[in-house]
């Protein structure tokens, strides 16, 4: 059985791509496809998959086996196309040439030398590309053939056929690890997942040099979407779960604490397995929440006490266990966690609930769960929506941070007023310059922040890297801590120094996680003080309204910026810069 | 079964069913190139649960060829 249900046929994608109109879509991505073999049909599939995410995908496909020329020629159409993402696909046969068939016609030393040379050539090719293009480059590793002419003795041969490929893969990995814009696509895992006999069809190979069978191209395209989604900030960060028949089998309100299915034996083991994979996602930073119609006492007893429950109360950032409708609960979860509905993935066994959720909140990814809990874990693992291009410290600590957030909310409830609450929090803000450690996180914030974002300008990590090196620009971020813990880097700004007397705030944003605690005033105060110190007279800000950034509409006005046409102007002569008194502000 | 066959051809080649007859092929259908033919054959294999041989894949050029080869695999078409 294939792990992704409902993947369509290649012909469906090709037919659909001919009739879709993506010209009006706001989000765009330019994808270049470079390959050593025929990949016809993949661009149509990517276009449709992007269209379904409301993204206009423009494609460039290099001519048959012309990837080398395209990369080496600085004037090639590839570079003129200005791709955002480039996918370079080279197959094992092309890299090994005759040695694929007759590896043992040469000595093991020669085989090693051959692989060393291929690895070096690939590295040169990759470096040539990254020097000439700002595009991300995704290069595949090589699938290890299952066949060897030595058969069962293959394992006894020194540096045999399989070891050649393994070595090439590991060399690629270590050579490219430090290239910030290069990613290795694990094609060998793709072949393992779907089977060599399925992915490689001899008839298609012999007739048209097709080395990924046509019926598997949609699966390959889906794997590539894992790179496209985070490039556009379309990755998701929260899983909302139902309880009965989703986290355990049966209905706790009817079957009772002892009657539910959850334990080492099937079918209860299916739910344990699902929960274990959820826990692993939690540990890597995916936020978990519950949306369940249940008696809270019944459900909480299971969550707190059941011996085979893997996920416990502290793993959930929000628990909505009540008799309210699921739509209201979902809206409240999004509000409580301060995340967009488009960041949520929803698991519920009940098709009626799923249909309702799809209808009311189409932006939520409602997973089409089959009526078979043994498939819950593989379906969860097949989702590529949680992928990020770089795992930052903030990502891995997110679950913990949301648990701290629950404690902050409790303090807020017991405080008599806002000032009292804020001063008790003991907020510390540290402004940090953009560097190799902070830039991945700044890029993440720039791509994803919607609510407190004055201009919503989206830049890729490579752009931010470039800005940070320019003398006429200032890129920085802010780490926010308080007595409950570290919120991580949750604010960022980009300043353009137009002249010695004037600065423009190109980008100013704050993660919704720390909004409304004076952090935004403190960071802006820091910028204004820095401007004054350098003798700047005016600082120019902008508020570009979007559907989502109403939260910062009044921000510049409240701080003393005066509206002049499209801009907000702050005169450093006339104004005193204020920083909230309850806050500790420093810079590194 | 002819209906199913014609439906498939119409969908893959993006032509109305009324435009398809035994002589249809690369000469009469614009999208019918060697690549779209492979896609069509794959869809036919999935729909009729058969597998064409390499010779069959190479020799099929028209709808009449498809019908003949389907028959070789025991697929009975009416009309």
pLDDT at A2: 45
Please check whether residue A4 lies inside any domain of the structure.
Answer: no
Residues B29, B35, B36, B41, CA torsion sign: positive
The pair of structure tokens assigned to A519 is 């952090």
Closest to A348 (Cα-Cα) out of A318, A323, A327:
A327
Q: How many residues does chain A have?
A: 588
Q: Does B58 touch chain A (CB under 8 A)?
A: yes
| Chain B touched by A476 (CB under 8 Å) | no
B71 touches chain A (CB under 8 A): no
Asked if the structure places residue A37 within a domain, the reply is yes
CA angle A118, A122, A128 (to 5 degrees): 145
Same domain assignment for residues A471 and A519: yes
- For residue B11, which residues of chain A lie inside 8 Å, CB to CB? 11, 15
How close, in Å, is residue A61 to chain B by CA atoms?
16
Q: Which residues of B fall within a CB distance of 8 Å from A210?
A: 38
Using an 8 Å CB-CB cutoff, list chain B residues near A9: 42-43, 46
Chain A residues touching residue B40 (CB < 8 angstroms): 11
Query: Is B12 within 8 Å of chain A by CB?
Result: yes
Average pLDDT over residues A133-149: 95
What's residue B1's pLDDT?
A: 55
Residue A250 and residue A211 share a domain:
no
pLDDT of residue B7: 92
Per-chain mean pLDDT for chain A: 93
- CATH number at A123 reads 3.40.50.1110
Q: Are residues A62 and A185 in the same domain?
A: yes
Tally of domains in chain A: 3
Q: What's the whole-number mean pLDDT along residues A9-35?
A: 94
**CA of B65 to nearest chain A CA: how many angstroms apart?**
18
Among A201, A249, A112, A179, residue whose Cα is nearest residue A461: A179
> What domain range includes position A245?
238-382
Secondary structure of A530-554 in HEC code, one letter for each residue:
HHHHCCCCEEEEECCCCCCCHHHCC
User: Residues A488, A540: one domain?
Assistant: yes
In A26-55, the residues whose Cβ lies within 8 Å of chain B are 38, 40-41
- The answer to whether residue A464 is domain-embedded is yes
- ipTM, interface predicted TM-score of the complex: 0.92
Asked if A545 reaches chain B (Cβ–Cβ under 8 Å), the answer is: no
Q: Are residues A445 and A579 both part of a single domain?
A: yes
- Are A364 and A343 contacting, i.e. CB atoms less than 8 angstroms apart? no
Summarised one tens digit per residue, pLDDT across range A438-485 is: 999 999 999 989 999 999 999 999 999 999 999 999 999 999 998 888
Determine, for residues A15 and B54 on separate chains, whether the beta-carbon distance falls below 8 Å. Answer: no
Closest C-alpha to A545, from A529, A535, A556: A556
Interchain CB contacts (distance < 8 Å): A and B: 42
Q: What's the Rg (C-alpha) of chain A?
A: 27
The pLDDT score that the predictor gives to residue A389 is 85
Kindly state the average pLDDT of the residues A324-348. Answer: 94
- Between the alpha carbon of residue A550 and those of residues A27, A310, A331, the distances in Å are 21, 40, 18
Q: Does A218 lie in the same domain as A262?
A: no
Q: Are A408 and A297 in contact (CB under 8 A)?
A: no
3-state secondary structure of B38: helix
B77–A contact, CB cutoff 8 A? no
Q: Which residue reads 């790179």 in tokens? A: A227
Nearest-Cα distance to chain B for A293, in Å, is 42
CB contact under 8 A, A15 and B58: no
Share of chain A above pLDDT 70, in %: 99
Q: Tell me the mean pLDDT in the region A243-261.
A: 96
Residue A413 lies in a domain: no
Identify all chain B residues contacting A40, using CB atoms and an 8 Å cutoff.
35
Do residue A215 and residue A244 come from a single domain?
A: no
Average pLDDT on A393-406 reads 80
Instruction: Establish if A214 touches chain B: CB-CB under 8 angstroms.
Output: yes
Per the document, the length of chain B is 79
Percent of chain A with pLDDT over 90: 82
Burial class (CB within 10 angstroms; exposed 0-12, middle 13-18, buried 19+) of A342: middle
In this structure, the answer to whether residues A447 and A507 fall within a common structural domain is yes
Can you give the pTM of this predicted structure? 0.81
Q: How near does any CA of chain B get to the CA of A217, in Å? A: 11
A90, A35 contact by CB (below 8 A)? yes
Among residues A187, A215, A231, which one ends one of the domains?
A231
Residues A213, A257 share a domain: no
Using pLDDT thresholds of 50, 70 and 90, give the confidence band for residue A1. Answer: very low
Distances (CA, A) of A176 to A86, A116, A122, A140, A340: 15, 14, 10, 12, 34
Residue A378: pLDDT above 50? yes
Q: Is the pLDDT of residue A127 over 70?
A: yes
What pLDDT is stored for residue A140 in this prediction?
Answer: 98
Q: Given A201, A231, A261, which residue is the final one in a domain? A: A231
Is a pLDDT exceeding 90 seen at residue A512?
no
Residue A494 lies in a domain: yes
Using 50, 70 and 90 to split pLDDT, how confident is the model at A405? confident
One domain for residues A74 and A92? yes
- The pairing of beta strand A344-347 with beta strand A316-322: unpaired
Whether the per-residue pLDDT at A407 is higher than 80: the answer is: no
Nearest by CB: A214 against B14, B42, B58: B42
Distance of residue A351 Cα from the nearest chain B Cα, in angstroms: 28
CA–CA distance, A504 with B41 (Å, rounded to integer): 60
Min Cα distance B21 → chain A (Å) is 21
Full DSSP string of A472-526: TEEEEEEEEEETTEEEEEEEEEEEEEEETTEEEEEEEEE-GGGTTSSHHHHHHHH
The answer to the question of residue A388 being in a domain is no
Q: Which residues have CB under 8 Å from B43's CB, separation 6+? A: A9, A11, B8, B12
A200 is written with which tokens? 């490689």
Residues of A with CB below 8 A from B39's CB? 10-11, 14, 41, 214
Q: Are A557 and A568 in contact (CB under 8 A)?
A: yes
CATH number, domain of A375, equals 3.40.50.1000
* Of the listed ranges A66-80, A182-196, A359-373, A410-424, the one predicted with least confidence: A410-424
Residue A159's pLDDT band (boundaries 50, 70, 90)? very high
Mutate to test the interface with A, among B35, B40, B44 (most CBs of A within 10 A): B35
List of chain B residues whose C-beta atoms are within 8 Å of the C-beta of residue A10? 39, 42
Provide, as residue numbers in chain A, all residues whose Cβ is less than 8 Å from the Cβ of B43: 9, 11
Span A141-160, mean pLDDT? 93
Mean pLDDT of A153-166: 94
Of A349, A364, A382, the one marking the end of a domain is A382
Which residues of A fall within a CB distance of 8 Å from B36?
Answer: 14
Instruction: State whether B39 and A41 contact (CB < 8 Å).
Output: yes
Q: How confident is the model at residue B79 (pLDDT cuts 50, 70, 90)?
A: low
Question: Under 8 Å CB-to-CB from A85, ≥6 apart: which residues?
Answer: A29, A30, A31, A32, A135, A136, A138, A227, A228, A231
> pLDDT tens, A214-228?
999 999 999 999 999
| CA distances for A172 relative to A38, A120, A143, A169, A238, angstroms | 23, 9, 13, 5, 33
Question: Under an 8 A CB cutoff, do B43 and A15 touch?
Answer: no
Rg of chain B in Å (alpha carbons): 11
User: Is-cis flag, bond preceding A233, omega within 30?
Assistant: no
The reported pLDDT for the residue numbered A3 is 46
Q: Does A11 touch chain B (CB under 8 A)?
A: yes
Say yes or no to pLDDT of A500 above 60.
yes
């Amino acid at each position: 059985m294939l792990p992704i249900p409902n993947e369509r046929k290649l012909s469906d994608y090709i037919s659909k791509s001919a009739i879709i109109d993506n010209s009006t879509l706001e989000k765009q991505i330019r994808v270049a496809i470079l390959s050593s073999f025929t990949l016809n049909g993949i661009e149509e599939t990517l276009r449709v998959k992007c269209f379904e995410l409301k993204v206009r995908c423009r494609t460039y496909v290099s001519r048959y086996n012309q990837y080398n020329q395209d990369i080496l020629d600085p004037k090639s159409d590839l570079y003129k196309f200005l791709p955002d993402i480039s996918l370079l696909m080279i197959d094992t046969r092309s890299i090994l040439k005759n040695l694929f068939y007759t590896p043992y016609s040469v000595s093991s030393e020669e085989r090693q030398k051959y692989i060393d040379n291929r690895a070096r050539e690939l590295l040169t090719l990759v470096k040539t590309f990254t020097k000439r293009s700002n595009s991300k480059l995704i290069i595949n590793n090589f699938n290890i053939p299952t066949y060897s002419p030595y058969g069962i003795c293959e394992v006894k041969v020194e540096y045999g056929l399989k070891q050649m490929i393994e070595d090439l893969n590991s060399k690629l990995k270590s050579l490219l690890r430090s290239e910030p814009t290069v990613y290795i696509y694990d094609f060998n895992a793709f072949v393992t997942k779907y089977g060599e006999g399925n992915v490689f069809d001899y008839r298609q190979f012999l007739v048209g040099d097709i080395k990924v069978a046509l019926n598997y191209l949609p699966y390959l395209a889906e794997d590539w979407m894992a790179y496209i989604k985070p490039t556009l900030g379309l990755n998701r960060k929260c899983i909302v779960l139902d309880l009965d028949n989703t986290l355990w089998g049966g209905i706790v309100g009817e079957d009772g604490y002892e009657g539910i299915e959850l334990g080492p034996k099937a079918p209860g083991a299916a739910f344990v397995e699902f929960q274990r994979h959820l826990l692993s996602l939690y540990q890597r930073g995916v936020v978990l929440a519950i949306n369940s119609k249940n008696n809270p006492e019944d459900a909480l007893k299971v969550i707190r006490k059941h011996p085979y429950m893997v996920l416990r109360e502290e793993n959930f950032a929000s628990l909505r266990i009540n008799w309210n409708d699921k739509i209201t609960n979902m809206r409240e979860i999004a509000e409580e966690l301060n995340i967009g509905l488009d960041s949520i993935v929803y698991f519920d066994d009940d098709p009626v609930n799923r249909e309702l959720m799809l209808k009311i909140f189409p932006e939520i990814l409602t997973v089409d769960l089959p009526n078979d809990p043994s498939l819950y874990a593989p379906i969860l693992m097949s989702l590529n929506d949680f992928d990020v291009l770089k795992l930052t410290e903030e990502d891995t600590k997110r679950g913990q941070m949301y648990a701290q957030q629950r404690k902050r909310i409790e303090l807020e409830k017991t405080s008599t007023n806002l000032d009292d609450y804020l001063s008790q929090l003991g907020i510390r803000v540290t402004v940090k310059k953009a560097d190799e450690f902070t830039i991945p996180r700044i890029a993440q914030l720039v791509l994803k922040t919607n609510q407190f974002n004055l201009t919503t300008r989206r830049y890729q990590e490579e752009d931010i890297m470039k800005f940070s090196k320019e003398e006429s620009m200032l890129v920085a971020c802010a780490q926010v801590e308080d007595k409950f813990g570290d919120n991580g880097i949750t604010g960022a700004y980009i300043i353009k120094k137009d002249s010695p007397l004037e600065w423009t705030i190109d980008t100013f944003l704050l993660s919704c996680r720390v909004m409304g605690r004076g952090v935004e005033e403190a960071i802006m105060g820091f910028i204004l003080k820095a401007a004054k110190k350098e003798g700047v007279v005016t600082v120019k800000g902008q508020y570009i309204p979007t559907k989502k950034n109403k939260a910062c509409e009044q921000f510049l006005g409240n701080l003393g910026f005066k509206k002049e046409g499209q801009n907000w102007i702050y005169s450093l002569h006339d104004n005193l810069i204020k920083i909230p008194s309850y806050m500790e502000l420093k810079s590194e | 079964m002819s209906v199913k066959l014609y439906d498939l051809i119409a969908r893959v080649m993006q032509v109305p069913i009324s435009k398809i007859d035994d002589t249809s092929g690369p000469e009469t259908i614009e999208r019918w190139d060697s690549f779209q033919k492979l896609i069509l054959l794959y869809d036919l294999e999935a729909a009729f649960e058969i597998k064409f041989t390499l010779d069959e894949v190479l020799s099929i050029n028209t709808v009449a060829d498809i019908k003949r080869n389907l028959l070789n695999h025991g697929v009975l078409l009416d009309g």
